[in-house]
Chain A
Amino acid sequence: MLALAAILASAVAPSIVSARPDAVALTLYRAPARAEGQIRLDALEGFGLVTETRLLSVPAGDAVLRFEGVADGIIPASAIVTGLPGGTIEKNRDARLLSPFNLVDGTLGRDVTIRRTERATGKTREERATIVAVPNRGKGGVVMRTSEGIETWRCPGLPEKLLFDGVPPGLSAKPVLSLRTNSPRAARVTVTLTYLSSGFDWNASYVGRVSDKGNTIDLTAWATLANGNAEAFPNASVKIVAGRLQRRSDREIVAAVEKLALHCYPQDTTTSNLPVIQRYEPPPPPPRMSDDIVVTGVLRRQDAPVFSVSAPPAPPPPPPPPEDLGDLKLYRVPEPVTVAPRAQKQVILIAQPRVRFEKVYCFTLPSWQAVQDQPAAIVLRMTNTEESGLGIPLPAGATTLYQARDGLPMLIGLGTLRDTAKGEKARLAAGESNQVVAAQERVDRERRRVSLSNANPFSVTVEVALGGAGERAFTGTSAPLERIDGVQTWRVTLPSHETVALDYSTRE
């Protein structure tokens, strides 16, 4: 019998397990469809490129290499393995997991031990049984053959337990990536495994501090990195890619775990339709979403806007400017960092002091409608050039703007920033103003009057976009209009405590 087993064993290619990578590099990509705002930690839609280096011994001849400790979000079709002397014959990803259902289902037709416990005495009795049927993928109960005859598991109402002789073949605790190779010789090799994985995301978080003079801001950007995988990436060389990539949905076999349902024959009794008095129980408190999410890093992101925070410590020096990766931008985190499982981390991305900006109060008014007391949107407009103190690619992200008051920073604006290339205009939202308001009245069918008022003790620059893009030029305007991006725009400096008006007509 042992000899037979030995023959059988030799027919199977030896299996080499690589438990964990020896070195890992991680490149993070932001979710292509997500807006510039915050990352949703409970549903990370970005992805990562994981490059692992593993040292392993390959025997001569046919062998199966099993890679353990890969990210759970691995897209198996994207896996690339290099460094094997015998190449890759086939790559497999097995998603049959060791679960109660697969344990029972995989034992179909084989013997198990059934242990019954007497409730009164605690005495147990065991007997051998054969599992005869596990219908409907575990949703139909379990039928077995015992020494008495055909019985159904757990239908009698007795404490019954199944004891299995072993784990059925082909089941694993986690989905496994394996690879078949045929090496010409036994060798100790360094294998590089590269794959895409879901469950990552990153976002740029800009913090702007308006200087005391009010004409420049100190702009800092943090890269917020999130890892939703259960796998840790210790001492990883981390890179971040800015820009938007084309992704296609991946049709993967989801390692779904079938539930084993204890379905019995109908068990209604003569009393089972008696009404049951429902006792009211208060609903459980909602689960706290971020219980298992650890926030590390220096700057803490708050859910609700805070109006006063203590001055943060000086940030570390930022990494060098990004390199071009085709039409994307690649940032390198200067030193190896540990990306913990289910955690968010922040590293400094950009630090640009004294960036010049122009503060503009913006309105958009349709030409057909009367408008009353519309507050102005305050925008800090910057040109992304060296002359203005910038001149670097600005990846998309959320912006937070502070202004100091008696040495304490006060939050003045929350907004977003798009991917902004060198030379482009960037704009930071800085809240709304109820001090600068606009109104538009319909003088008659065609004539409109726009009036702007400023209650501030300082003069402001106002831009009013009138009508839609490409709209016919207005006539009878009391001030010159400029077409900006196809829209007729009135640009005016509004002195403090004053009201100015503009008349225009839609008549041809």
Chain B
Amino acid sequence: MRFALMIGLLSAASIAETQPPASNSPPGSTTAQGDLSVTIYNNNIALVQDVRRLDLPAGRTRQSFADVSAAIRPETVGLAASDASVIEQNFDYDLLSPTSLMQKSVGDMITLIRTAPMTGVETRERAKVLAVNGGVVLQIGDRIEVLRDDGLPVRVVFDHVPESLRARPTLSVALDSRRAGPRPVTLSYLSNGLAWNADYVALFDEKAGTIDVQGWVTLRNSTGTSFYNAKTILVAGEVGSNDNAGEVSYRPVRRTLKVAGTESAAREQLGDFYLYPLPERTTIADQQTKQVSFLDVKGAPATSGYEYRSGWMATAGQPQSASSVLRFSNAAKGGLGDALPAGTVRVYMRDARGDPQFIGENRIDHTPQGSQLAIRTGDAFDVKVQPAMTSRTRISDNHWRTVMSYTLTNAKDKPVTVELIQDGVPWWWTDTRISSESLKSEKRDADMTVWQVPVPANGKTIVTATFETRY
């Protein structure tokens, strides 16, 4: 291992042609990266700032930067160095491969080493590459040949690597320096392939009516490049926005957020975005998923409830499970007291022996502090609703009467309340009305009617309602 380590260090110079490895890079790695800062956004984009010490001669030079992200967006590269100006920036992605090597050698001389099949005797010849089209056509002396036409082994040796071919996509910058000498050079660019989201572990105590919530930021690096010893900041929010005037982008109904909050969290803000800096420098390895804790709240109030949404004129042949919903707040008073970056909330509950068991998960959006959240965790085994359209009659050309009955059952040994939602009620017609109902309803929006239905322990409640609509 030690031996391999030394080999690694010694051969470092061959990759980082422009400079020795940065002083803060960990041993064993051979990176050309300098002092790194990585700012990661949610939508698969990151800003990388890389301060490298370069020894620049006076006048014009060309510097290449190895170990930039393999998912770099080269058009976003910016370079700043004192007493030097940028003449041009290039991103070379003409990669060195056997094919490109042969193609770039058209017109050049190469060496052929032939091995005699029986004796193993090697013979050498110089050849000129005439063309590389499907196969390689060579001129050897005054003969023309196709490479490996006889199927016998032939080693092809090229004299050098053509200058334009790179082992990896490489960023190179032409600089004009007004003085000679080492100085820090700041390279910044945007890269795809880095993303983060939050993951929450919520332990719900039904008896006490509380949750303990741990929040983790989870960042994933699929850039193909490792970032060593980087100062890392995570930004919660979408930096790409739709500013096309007149175009309305459809956003689905957010079922997890009941009431959006109006409080500010005690977090650093950048404009409208919250910042989550990692406490220490960290190495984000390629293909790595990394998690760092950012939130730990104990004993915030939470309640569980039930919700059932019935489509317009729906009838179910068998009872359908109501959804189990966990409700809590992230307000400073009586809540988690922090803004919540988008992510997955995994809900756990202790079983009869006190071991935590998973009871469901759901995704939340970026949630400002002070919001009321309602997270659907799954279907209730014991609480069911069976909607049935018991009659639908035409009273006149534009007047229909629809009688609905909803049978709510509860097999638990304690009473529950189910939020029963009738979806698709055409409230936008002003003559739509409910002519009779067994329980007072509430009109939530243009197509929703909601009942809060108490269902006794081991019992059932039947809700009936008659809708008068135009159709």
Contacts and interface: CB of A to CB of B under 8 A. Distances in A.
Given A267-B148, A469-B388, A90 B292 contact: yes
B97 A140 contact: yes
Of residues B102, B120, B160, B376, which shows the largest number of chain A Cβ atoms within 10 Å of its Cβ?
B120
Contacts of A213: none
Interface in A449-505: 468-473, 483, 485-487
Interface stretch (A4-12, A215-223, A294-302, A397-405): A4-12
A279 interface: no
Contacts of B412: 324
B161 to A, nearest CB: 6
B217 to A, nearest CB: 10
Of residues B317, B346, B363, B382, which shows the largest number of chain A Cβ atoms within 10 Å of its Cβ?
B382
B99 A141 contact: yes
B389 A264 contact: no
A239 interface: yes
A101 to B, nearest CB: 12
B403 to A, nearest CB: 8
Interface string A137-176: 1001111001011111001111000000111011000000
Interface string B137-152: 0000000001111011
Contacts of A134: 167
A244 B389 contact: no
A77 B155 contact: no
Contact of A269 (B135, B323, B359): B135
A269 B359 CA distance: 65
Given A96-B287, A165-B7, A49 B98 contact: no
Of residues A76, A271, A483, which shows the largest number of chain B Cβ atoms within 10 Å of its Cβ?
A76
Contacts of B402: 470
Interface stretch (B24-32, B83-91, B177-185, B441-449): B24-32
Contacts of A92: 285, 288-291
B161 A150 contact: yes
Interface string A22-38: 00010101001000000
Given A25-B355, A165-B3, A239-B357, A483 B96 contact: no
Interface stretch (A114-122, A281-289, A438-446): A114-122
Contacts of B344: 77, 248, 250
B362 interface: yes
Interface stretch (B48-56, B198-206, B263-271, B422-430): B198-206
A193 interface: no
11 contacts: A120-B118, A141-B97, A149-B159, A169-B28, A170-B285, A265-B98, A265-B156, A326-B349, A330-B357, A470-B389, A486-B389
A327 B136 contact: no
B8 A248 contact: no
A14 interface: no
Given A418-B318, A472-B393, A77 B382 contact: no
B133 A266 contact: yes
B329 interface: no
Interface of B: 1-8, 11, 14-15, 26-30, 95-103, 111, 113, 115, 117-120, 132-136, 146-149, 151-161, 165-168, 197, 199, 201, 204, 206, 214, 216, 218, 220, 222, 224, 226, 278-280, 282, 285-293, 304, 306, 313, 315-319, 321, 323-324, 344, 346, 349, 351-352, 355-363, 376-384, 386, 388-393, 402-403, 405, 409, 411-412, 458
A433 B291 CA distance: 60
B96 A323 contact: no
Nearest to B7: A165
Contacts of A270: 135, 146, 149
B156 A255 contact: no
A127 to B, nearest CB: 12
Contacts of B197: 251
Contacts of A55: none
> What is the size category of the interface that chain A forms with chain B?
35 or more
A59 interface: no
B4 A166 contact: yes
Contact of A255 (B287, B356, B405): B287
Contacts of B292: 89-91
Contact of B287 (A79, A94, A108, A241): A94
A362 to B, nearest CB: 11
A328 B359 contact: yes
A470 B391 contact: yes
Contacts of B99: 140-141, 263-266
Nearest to B318: A418
A452 B362 CA distance: 50
Nearest to B166: A133
B409 A423 contact: yes
Contacts of B293: 88
A110 B7 contact: yes
Contacts of A140: 95, 97-99
Contacts of A130: 11, 14
Given A94-B288, A267-B147, A423-B458, A194 B356 contact: yes
Interface string A87-106: 01111111110000000000
A144 B216 CA distance: 44
